[in-house]
Amino acid sequence: MEGRPLQDPELIELAKDGDVRAYGELVERYRQIAFRTAYLITRNAADAEDAAQDAFVKAYYALQRFRTREPFRPWLLRIVSNEAKNRARSARRREGLTLRLAEGGPPEDAGPSPEAAATLRETQEALLAALAMLREEDRLVIAYRYLLELSETETAEVLGVRPGTVKSRLSRALGRLRERLPSALGTTELEAADA
Amino acid sequence: MREPDAMDLGRALTAVATRVAYPPTPTIAPAVTARLSAARETGVRPPLPGLALWTRRRLLVAIAIGVLALLGIAAATRLAVGAFQIREVPTLRPGVTTTPLPETIGRAVTLDEARRIAGFRVRVPLGLAEPTTVRIFSSPFGDRSVLLAWDDPAFPDLAGTPWTLVLLELPGDEEFAFKLVAGQGAVRDVEVGGRRGYWLEKPHQLLLETVTEVQTYLVMGNVLVWDAGEGIALRLETSLPLRDALALAETIR
């Protein structure tokens, strides 16, 4: 292919015409966020992979109903989310969500000292542990908004609610997250985690 | 110690986002495209609402050729250049559409877009202005094809169309453009740039299969079809005589 990479609307139009290769390019572009969205729901890598794959196939067949100039990402992620929820329901898994920090710390220039780096890691692990303890509705609104870094509008579309509902749901979910954090964790530690 | 508020938590969570150890993202695209291609092959699900299943479309092409040829297929001479198949048949079935190709096929794009999207080098005749119409469509095999049309008054009109030149660029060796010409000897062997081609002067019918439909056209102009190399076959429709059409074709790069 010549020139710059095709934009989403161009690939979508080609895919609507039945161009499977163009759709493959879209899949490649969104596979990571689709897989992570599914993983946050299924809590299992194999199920997340299956859910993401099925969602991409379903999205292809639904493309004719998609308005090309609308953002593709939230539309796709809603399909992924529904597919993952169906799979999680049928799997009836009892395991909780396990989110861990990647090995190694932040870049060296981000941590003033080994002690500070250790504190930062503890704080971030505590945050993830508290997140995992939340019920699904709270966990997903936080995860979509902050871990996947979707906008409020995108989060609303993926959850199938109005943007105003995201605001209120997020506020309540953050309140419950705070309740699950160790009492020793105050603004100082969180500010360090934000550094 | 102040209790963290929603803003504090939000900022801390955003900072954590880049450090979460998700399982490695699997390669998904090959599996998805394989499933979609397999579904198309077996006709499990149509890619478009209301669209006949792919296998049914293939059958439709066969039936259409059969009907148009009025059972002359058995005696027909079959010639092929890349994605084009040419059949000389005893008679043509009257009443097929005369809709000009560019107005009904695929979707309109600019020449630049076509060049980016096509997946092959889009060719144009030297010295001509940009085409008036550029359309892109997918073949039944998933390849992108390009149609260019000019209304350049330097060339004679193409009867039944608003154009004076139409250039169709089809990739691949799988045939999905079928030309039916009445009578033996209606097709002449030619060479364009040392490559094999055919010249059709009589009115003939064109069945063009895209990924979404099969369209039939009555072509009133002269047509030059040739192998342009690099897996591309070209079809130039013009009212020019053979000698001038060959000269023009030689400039197409």
Residue A140 lies in a domain: yes
CATH (domain of A179): 1.10.10.10
pTM of the complete model beyond 0.80: no
- Subunit contact B19:A99, Cβ cutoff 8 A: no
- Between CA A183 and CA A172 the distance in angstroms is 19
**Interface membership of B110 toward A (CB under 8 Å):** no
Looking at CA atoms only, how far is residue B31 from chain A in angstroms? Answer: 8
How many CB atoms within 10 Å of residue A47? 19
pLDDT of residue A60: 92
| B contact residues 125-144, partner A, Cβ 8 Å cutoff | 137-138, 142, 144
Provide the mean pLDDT of chain B: 80
CATH (domain of A66): 1.10.1740.10
pLDDT of residue A165: 92
Residue located via tokens 């596979």: A31
- Between CA B200 and CA B17 the distance in angstroms is 65
Q: Which residues contact B76 (CB under 8 A, 6 or more apart)?
A: B69, B87, B88, B89
What residue type is assigned to position B41 of the chain? E
- Enumerate the H helices of chain B as residue ranges: 6-17, 29-42, 54-68, 111-117, 242-250
- Between CA A75 and CA A66 the distance in angstroms is 8
Average pLDDT value for residue range B126-138: 91
Average pLDDT value for residue range B117-123: 91
- Between CA A143 and CA A166 the distance in angstroms is 12
Secondary structure (3-state) at A76: helix
- Between CA B164 and CA B22 the distance in angstroms is 59
pLDDT over 70 at B123, yes or no: yes
- Subunit contact B15:A195, Cβ cutoff 8 A: yes
**Same structural domain for residues A68 and A113?**
no
Residues of B in contact with A52 (CB under 8 A): 26, 28
- Subunit contact B212:A18, Cβ cutoff 8 A: yes
Q: Which of B118-127, B144-153, B210-219 has the lowest mean pLDDT?
A: B210-219
**Same structural domain for residues A84 and A115?**
no
**Same structural domain for residues A79 and A125?**
no
**Same structural domain for residues A114 and A188?**
yes
Q: How many CA atoms lie within 13 A of A140 on its CB side?
A: 25
**Same structural domain for residues A132 and A86?**
no
Secondary structure (3-state) at B157: coil
Is A156 in contact with A166 (CB distance < 8 Å)?
A: yes
pLDDT of residue A106: 57
**Interface membership of B74 toward A (CB under 8 Å):** no
Give Cα separations from A152 to A141, A169, A170 (angstroms): 10, 11, 10
- Structural domain tally of chain A? 2
Radius of gyration of chain A (CA): 19
Integer distance in angstroms from the first to the last C-alpha of chain B?
75
Residue ranges covered by each domain of chain B = 6-42, 54-250
**Same structural domain for residues A173 and A143?**
yes
**Same structural domain for residues A53 and A125?**
no
**Interface membership of A122 toward B (CB under 8 Å):** no
**Interface membership of A176 toward B (CB under 8 Å):** no
Q: Are strands B195-200 and B204-209 parallel, antiparallel or unpaired?
A: unpaired
Q: What is the pLDDT of residues B31-57, one digit of tens each?
A: 999 988 887 766 554 444 333 344 445
- Between CA B172 and CA B231 the distance in angstroms is 5
**Same structural domain for residues A38 and A73?**
yes
Q: Which of B138, B146, B209, B232 to mutate to test the interface with A (most CBs of A within 10 A)?
A: B138
- Between CA A79 and CA A153 the distance in angstroms is 16
DSSP structure class, residue A107: -
**Same structural domain for residues A124 and A81?**
no
Residues of A in contact with B31 (CB under 8 A): 53
pLDDT over 70 at B207, yes or no: yes
Residues of B in contact with A6 (CB under 8 A): 116-117
pLDDT tens per residue across all 195 residues of chain A: 445 678 898 899 888 888 888 899 999 999 999 999 999 999 889 999 999 999 999 999 888 888 878 899 999 999 999 999 888 877 766 566 677 777 765 555 555 677 777 777 888 888 888 898 898 899 999 999 999 999 999 999 999 898 889 999 999 999 999 888 877 666 666 666 565
**Interface membership of B66 toward A (CB under 8 Å):** no
Full residue range of the structural domain in which residue A168 is found: 108-193
Choose between A18 and B71: higher pLDDT.
Answer: A18
Of A46, A63, A91, which closes a domain? Answer: A91
Looking at CA atoms only, how far is residue B182 from chain A in angstroms? Answer: 33
- Between CA A108 and CA B216 the distance in angstroms is 67
pLDDT over 80 at B210, yes or no: no
**Same structural domain for residues A117 and A181?**
yes
Q: What is the pLDDT of residues B229-248, one digit of tens each?
A: 998 999 999 999 999 999 99
Looking at CA atoms only, how far is residue A110 from chain B in angstroms? Answer: 12
pLDDT of residue A116: 74
